[in-house]
Amino acid sequence: MSPELNRLAELLPAPAEPQTAPNWSVAEENLHATLPTDYRELIEAYGGGLVDGYLLLLEPGCPNDVYDLLKVSAAREEANDALWEYEDKPVEMETEGNRLVCWATTDNGEYLYWLIQPGDTPASRPILINSESGEEWERYDMTVTQFLTGVLNGELHTDTFFDRFPLPSHEFRPARQMQ
């Protein structure tokens, strides 16, 4: 386990049951992108699931469709394309070839994405968060595990998330238990 994932695990206990690793090659083929190593380690330790009753961590091929990274990301790409015909895109999406891949969402309707840029490396991908209104965007230049650790330990604050997140005592509910 990486040091980043160890820090997160100190805050957010991982499920006791071992997780079945997704088929990463199928996921990456479907997404036309290599997924960051820290995210892969996170999913292999936790699987998809609900963090503090609010943040839905998505997993490629999750049997619970609500938590399926492939399905949610495809739906968000289609929705964003339709929205951006009438509304402003985030500035990062003005560059030709840039794409968004959704890796988490919230029960309030915010979406968390990786910004994928031509020639980038997976570990260097910024996180973009879209507010539930669809009009506001926040950017974080860090990995998924750094972001989650920072939010859960209170070192990182986002104006987009519900003010009661995170909870004082953190909990993770695996998606596979919510079918």
**pLDDT tens sequence across 60-75:** 999 999 999 999 999 9
Q: What pLDDT is recorded for position 2?
A: 87
For range 125-134, the mean pLDDT: 91
Where are the strands (E) in the chain, listed by range?
Answer: 49-51, 55-57, 99-106, 111-116, 127-130, 137-140, 172-174
pLDDT of residue 156: 96
For tokens 């992108």, the residue is 33
Q: In which order are the strands placed within the sheet that holds 99-106? A: 137-140, 127-130, 111-116, 99-106, 55-57, 49-51, 172-174
Task: Classify domain 3-155 at the CATH class level.
Answer: alpha beta
Report the pLDDT averaged over residues 6-15: 94
pLDDT of residue 84: 87
Question: In whole angstroms, what is the distance from residue 146 CA to residue 167 CA?
Answer: 18
Mean pLDDT of the chain: 93
Least confident of 33-47, 51-65, 79-93, 107-121: 79-93
Q: Tell me the C-alpha distance between 166 and 52, whole Å.
A: 6
pLDDT at 179: 64
